[in-house]
Amino acid sequence: MHSHNIRLPVFLAALLLFFTTDALAGRAGPPGKRRPPPPVVSVEKAVKRSVRSQLTVVGTIDPYRTSIVSSEIEGRVETAPIREGDLVEAGKTVIAALRRTDLEIDLRIERAELAKAVQDHLRLKRGSRPEEIEAYRARAREKEAELKRDELGLKRAEDLYRKKILNRSNYDQAVAKFEISRSQYLEEKNNLRMSEIGPRKEEIARARAEVARMRARIAGIQDKLRKTIIRSPLTGFLTEKNVEVGQWVAKGGRVGEVIETRKVLVRAPVSEKQISFVTVGDSARVRLDAIPGRVFTGRIARIIPKADTKSRTFPVEVELDNTSDYALKAGMFARIVMEYGASVQSVLIPKDALLIRPRGASVFIFDKGRVREISFKPGRNVDSFVEVPGGEIKPGMRVVVQGNEKLRNGITVRLPGQIRVGPGGKKGRGKRPAKKGKNNEGRRG
């Protein structure tokens, strides 16, 4: 009886141990299947910074200046040495050159005419020389002597005519000869007087005006010769070429287009609700999809005070210095960040840590191997950060920035490279998979 009482408790304890072991075995699953390790996450710290309100708009890079180059004269293109896309320098690079032969011939003719006009003006300005005056005086004496001779002849003819010895015809010839001699004498006498007193002021002025006219004609031809060489008015790039060798160009005809890109303008539309925040002279940061990872800083150059009546936006231009290799090109898509208002101390977290769920925004805080989810209403965007108002997140807290999409509140996680605990109490690196094979039996999983 005593022996039977002892066996019954032992039997019951063995039966309880059997069911407990069987239940644990069923929970553990099939033999050899491991439990999944904690997920790997990356974390960064929340920071506290002094920030201002930001306005972000999108725009396009425009050239600082654009020039449509035209020909000032007509002519045939003789050379057109550069191509579209070539770098040009203001006042030096030749875009095209017109034929010069006809103008050069006209220039030689006009220079000869100018030399003649100059000599005529100098002769009038100097007046007659003593030798010339003496020559005029001699001719006047000669004509005076001829006049006296013809006058005596006329008197004899009159006497004979009255006596009816000379006919009317011979008498008329004597009168005509006298009149001719008197006219020639008066002309030579006048020439002598003019040579003695010199030319009139009006004649000198007329000769001087003729010299000025010829010089102006020469200057016009020289100006046309200069205009046969069509140079770039800006330093930048030739973006359009409209002429080729042998082509006839009319006066005012389009030769090409040049843009200046040592500086560029980022032009963006700003809504009427936000335009009051924008001030000329404020700094602005520009990011380009074509040049990722770089931020360019410029200033707001101007606000165009005329809105687009369809979109109700005002064009704003931000001025930027280009790089030495002209990386900023016209037409590039740009994002402009403009700051306004007073600076405020705020807690910021990386944008990668932010999760947008149907119930709102949240972030996972990493603390002692576990994560805790905090919901909040995001504040301002500051570069690659988001403002966290409310004070629930403190500076220095570590937030999950990678691997946070499938996390749940309170679960265990591990950081990249962190040692984890495997089955049987064996330790291993989280990223190194367990190797299988008979040569690896007994090694870490």
Is residue 399 within 8 Å of 369, Cβ to Cβ? no
Which distant-in-sequence residues (6+ apart) come within 8 Å of 78 by Cβ? Answer: 97, 98, 99, 100, 245
The pLDDT of residue 423 is 46
Measured distance CA(225)–CA(215) in Å, rounded: 15
- Of 200, 311, 322, 317, nearest in space to 261 by CA: 322
Where residue 406 falls (left for φ over 0; alpha for ψ -120 to 50; beta otherwise) is alpha
User: How distant is the alpha carbon of residue 50 from its chain centre?
Assistant: 35
Query: What is the value of pTM for the model shown?
Result: 0.60
CA neighbor of 203 nearest in space, from 121, 306, 264 = 121
| Distances in whole angstroms, Cα of residue 36 to Cα of each of 409, 420, 433 | 18, 11, 12
- The end-to-end CA distance of the chain, in Å, is 54
**Residue type, position 317, single letter:** E
For residues 313-328, give the mean pLDDT. Answer: 95
Average of per-residue pLDDT across 206-227: 95
Running DSSP on this structure, what letter comes out for residue 21? H
For the stretch 76-104, pLDDT in tens is 999 999 999 999 999 999 999 999 999 99
Whole-number Å distance between alpha carbons of 399 and 415: 12
Nearest-CA neighbor of 409 among 442, 380, 367, 376? 367
313 vs 86: CA distance, rounded Å = 36
Please check the confidence at residue 373 and state whether its pLDDT lies above 60. Answer: yes
Average pLDDT of the chain? 85
Output the six-digit token pair for 352: 């990668």
> Hey, is 365 helix, strand or coil?
strand
Query: What pLDDT score does 340 carry?
Result: 82
pLDDT over 90 (residue 219)? yes
What's the pLDDT band for 246 if we cut at 50, 70, 90?
A: very high
Contacts of residue 360, defined as CB under 8 A and 6 or more positions apart, other chains included, come to: 375, 376, 377
Confidence (pLDDT) at 173: 92
Check whether 444 has a pLDDT greater than 70: no
pLDDT of residue 96: 97
Q: Cα separation of 234 and 88, whole Å?
A: 7
Q: How far apart are CA 175 and CA 173, in angstroms?
A: 5
Number of alpha carbons in the 13 Å side-chain half-sphere of residue 125? 12
DSSP state of 323: P
DSSP state of 128: -
Backbone phi and psi for residue 95, each to the nearest 5 degrees, phi listed first: -85, -40
pLDDT digit string (tens) for 124-152?
877 777 787 788 889 989 999 999 999 99
Q: Give all strands (DSSP E) within 195-253, no chain letters.
A: 229-231, 236-241, 248-249
State which amino acid sits at residue 362.
S
Looking at residue 251, the DSSP 8-state letter turns out to be T
Confidence category of residue 327, pLDDT binned at 50, 70, 90:
very high
